[in-house]
Structure formats: structure tokens, C-alpha cells
Amino acid sequence: MRTERLVVANARGKYLALLLCALAFVAIGALIVLRQPGLGGFLIGGASIAFFGAGAVLFTFQLLDRRPRLILDDDGLNDRTLAVGIIPWRDIADARLLTVRGHAFVCLELRNPEHWTDKLSPRQRRLAALNQRMGYAMLNVNLAGAAVDPQAVLQRILTYSAMYEPGRG
């Protein structure tokens, strides 16, 4: 069986828009610092510069990052943001799509979740456990900021995991 390879990158247009907005707020913060004398203007303007400046750095990195974010192919699912490596299709028992405040996640139900969570750092394990308590799966494919239709990713995961299901001919 051959699967059609899907390579998903960051949504560069979205990150460009976010970068421009962040830079606008940095400029507004600078104007506040320059035009509002005293501690209040300095604190408000400085906070705007620091917060939105950090966002601008993050959005610039995401805009310039050309590495694949998600790859679905014969080997399985490789989500770079999960940092657990390639999850073979036979290890995925089920998947479901959840959306929180407009951000889509594909929740992965794995046949042996401990195998995958053992690859996480202690901090990531605590976050995975919190995810589960909140109704998500231990491992979730975050599609926020990805240039892909979440429903298409979900359907592909369900189709491929069924094709490679253990015990299936």
C-alpha cells in the first residue's frame, strides 16, 4: 500500500499579518514613551514594546521557517512540534478533531501512548497529562498557523491508520 505524501508548512500569510500587527503595536508603544512624559507613559509604552516586540521576533521566526511542520506519508505521521519522531500508522487507533477558539487540533488516540509520552521531556509529560484531564488526547497535532485544512488532515489520518491497522491483511 502506498499513501499520498502530505507535507504541511506554516501559513506564511498569517504570520506576515501577525508580524505587521506586532510591529504596529511596537511603534505605538514607542510613541507613547516619547510623547507621554513620566513613569506611566514609560511603563505602558515599554510594556507594549516588550510584549509585541517579543511577538514580532516569534512571528519573524515562523515566517522564515521553511521546515515542514507536519508530514503524512508511508512511514506515518511526523509532527515536528510534538518532537516524538514518526508515529507509524499502526500505532494510531483513532483521531478526532477539536477546535478551541478557532485553533484546530487533531487528538491522537494511540495504541501504546506510554511509548510516545516516554519520549517527552518531564515538562511536556505534565502538559500531556493536563491535556488528557481537559478532554484532549495525550498527544495532539496542533494545526494553528498551519497552511492546511484541518478536516483534510483528520480524514487522511483516519484513512491511513485504518489501512495500516495491526492484523489487517
Residue 79 has pLDDT above 60, yes or no: yes
Going by DSSP bridges, is the β-strand pair 70-73/103-110 parallel, antiparallel, or unpaired? unpaired
Query: pLDDT tens, 25-58?
Result: 999 999 999 999 899 999 999 999 999 999 999 9
AA identity, residue 127: L
Mean pLDDT for 121-125 is 89
| Per-residue pLDDT band at 167 (split at 50, 70, 90) | low
**Please, what is the average pLDDT of the chain?**
89
| Per-residue pLDDT band at 9 (split at 50, 70, 90) | confident
Q: What was the pLDDT predicted at 146?
A: 84
- What order do you get walking across the sheet with 139-142 strand by strand? 92-100, 103-110, 139-142
Question: 9-48 as b/e, with b when 16 or more CB fall inside 10 Å?
Answer: ebbeebbeebbeebbebbeebeebbeeeeeeebeeebbeb
> 98 is written with which cell numbers?
477539536
User: DSSP string of the chain?
Assistant: -----EEE-B-HHHHHHHHHHHHHHHHHHHHHHHHS-SHHHHHHHHHHHHHHHHHHHHHHHHHH--S-SEEEETTEEEETTT-S-EE-GGGEEEEEEEEETTEEEEEEEESSHHHHHTTS-HHHHHHHHHHHHTTS-SEEEE-TTBSS-HHHHHHHHHHHHHHT-TT--
What is the reported pTM?
0.73
| Per-residue pLDDT band at 82 (split at 50, 70, 90) | confident
Mean pLDDT for 146-164 is 90
